[in-house]
Amino acid sequence: MINWQSLFFNSLWVVGLSLLLAAFSYHAWLATENDRKLWTQLSQPGFIRWVWTAVLLVSIGLLGVSQQLWEIILWAVMALISVANIGLLSRKTSFEEKT
């Protein structure tokens, strides 16, 4: 019998890592296309937002499959930090668009 809950949460962290790899690959390509240094491109808010989204997905996925209390606390804290950083980036981006 398939454990659907485990399948769902394991899928989340796999998708999160895939998203992180895709974002890094795209921004590495974008850096070469625009003749920028890689670290300059990776410091752009667009890349950072994708990183925090990926960290959020990984955190929720690992939170769902964790069985030890310390793991649950660790992944819950990482998920909260990710949500906070995504919110701060969104607020910063919308503030910069208004000015």
pLDDT, tens digit (0-9, with 9 covering 90-100), for 86-95: 999 988 776 6
Q: Is residue 3 part of a domain?
A: no
Q: Residues 86, 53: contact at Cβ < 8 Å?
A: yes
Q: Is residue 2 part of a domain?
A: no
- Distance CA(77)–CA(82), nearest Å, equals 9
Q: Is residue 84 part of a domain?
A: yes
The pLDDT value recorded for residue 98 is 64
Number of domain units in the chain: 1
The pLDDT value recorded for residue 2 is 87
Mean pLDDT, residues 38-66: 95
The pLDDT value recorded for residue 95 is 63
Range of the domain at 66: 9-98
Structure tokens at 35: 């003749």
Mean pLDDT, residues 46-71: 96
The pLDDT value recorded for residue 97 is 64
- Distance CA(48)–CA(41), nearest Å, equals 10
Indicate the Cα dihedral angle 82, 88, 93, 96, nearest 10°: -160
